[in-house]
Amino acid sequence: MGDNKDNDIVPARRIGMYHIGWTYDELIEHLSEGFKQKELEQQITLQTSNIKFWISKGSRTVTQIMAYDRFDGKFLEEIGIGSCLKDITRLGIKYKQNENDYVYELPDYPGICFELEDIDEWDELTAPIEYISIYETNLN
């Protein structure tokens, strides 16, 4: 059992303490470390050393959160950065490849996707998960 529930990855809801649907101001209040902010056409991104946030300029709310690098939180208390699709299938969970290369979604868990590292000797079942994103769904 993971003893750090605060770092759980919950599809379409939260990564750790950071929630989909938070306002820009709520997010800023909770960011304890420094971050880089970037203005895009429709969105603002805030990036820390191991989490990136997308905020819609229209609603001013968080629509996507991505964990990477040394983020140690887990999805279903087992799947994290560095895990692989073989770990997901071992849990009996189906996955499907998105139209984007190296991006995989879980049909039974809307609002989460995994991006695999592009490594030599690439094999989709054993390539390490490099990024885990959660995002808004129509089910929220």
CA distance 70 to 21: 24
- Owner of token pair 């079942």: 125
Domain ranges of the chain: 5-135
**pLDDT tens-digit map of 29-59:** 999 778 999 999 999 999 999 999 999 999 9
If pLDDT is split at 50, 70 and 90, which confidence band does 121 have? confident
CA distance 121 to 35: 34
Residue 33: what pLDDT? 78
From the list 21, 14, 15, 11, the residue with the least C-alpha distance to 109 is: 11
**pLDDT tens-digit map of 66-103:** 999 999 999 999 999 999 999 999 999 999 998 877 89
What are the strands of the beta sheet with 36-39, ordered from one edge? Answer: 36-39, 43-47, 51-56, 62-68, 129-135, 112-116, 103-105, 96-97
